[in-house]
Structure 1
Amino acid sequence: MISKIKYILASAAVFAAMTSAHAASVELNSKIFVEKTTYLPNGTKRTTLEAPKTILPGDNLVFVVNYKNIEAKAANNIIITNPLPNAVNFVETHDGTEIVSVDGGRMWGKLSSLTVRKPDGTYRPALAGDVTHLRWKLNKSIGAGAGGKLIFRGSVK
Structure 2
Amino acid sequence: MKLFTKILASSLLFASVSVAVPATAQEASAVVVTGDVKQVEVSTDANGEEVTKLVDLGVTVPGTRLVFRTNYENTTQEVIRNFKLTNPIHPSVRLAPDADGDLTVSVDGGNTWGPLSSLSVSGEDGSARSATHADVTHVRWTIAEIAPGAGGQVQIPAIIR
What TM-score range do you get, normalising by the shorter chain? 0.7 to 0.9
Q: What is the identity, as a one-letter code, of the residue corresponding to 1:90? A: L
The separation in 2 between residues aligned to 1:69 and 1:41, in whole angstroms, is 42
Aligned to 2:66: 61
Q: Under a length normalisation based on structure 2, what TM-score does the superposition of the two structures give?
A: 0.84
Q: List gaps (5 residues or longer) in structure 1.
A: none
How many equivalent residue pairs?
154
Identity of aligned residues (%): 34
Q: Under a length normalisation based on structure 1, what TM-score does the superposition of the two structures give?
A: 0.86
8 Å CA contact 1:99–1:110 kept in 2: the answer is yes
Aligned to 1:146: 150
Q: Does 1:32 align with 2:37?
A: yes
8 Å CA contact 1:98–1:137 kept in 2: the answer is no
Question: How far apart are residue 143 of structure 1 and its match?
Answer: 1.3
The separation in 1 between residues aligned to 2:6 and 2:41, in whole angstroms, is 19
Task: Describe the shift of the 1:121–1:97 C-alpha distance in structure 2 as closer, same or farther (beyond 3 A).
Answer: closer
Task: Describe the shift of the 1:97–1:65 C-alpha distance in structure 2 as closer, same or farther (beyond 3 A).
Answer: farther
Cα deviation digits, residues 10-42 of structure 1 (max 9, x gap) = 3234135x4214331211111110001112344
Cα deviation digits, residues 96-115 of structure 1 (max 9, x gap) = 54210001111111100000
Aligned to 1:11: 11
Aligned to 1:86: 91
8 Å CA contact 1:84–1:90 kept in 2: the answer is yes
Q: List gaps (5 residues or longer) in structure 2.
A: 23-27
8 Å CA contact 1:89–1:129 kept in 2: the answer is yes
The separation in 2 between residues aligned to 1:46 and 1:112, in whole angstroms, is 31
The separation in 2 between residues aligned to 1:12 and 1:5, in whole angstroms, is 10
8 Å CA contact 2:2–2:59 kept in 1: the answer is no
Q: Cα RMSD (Å) of the superposition?
A: 2.3
SS in 1 for 2:86: strand
Aligned to 2:160: 156
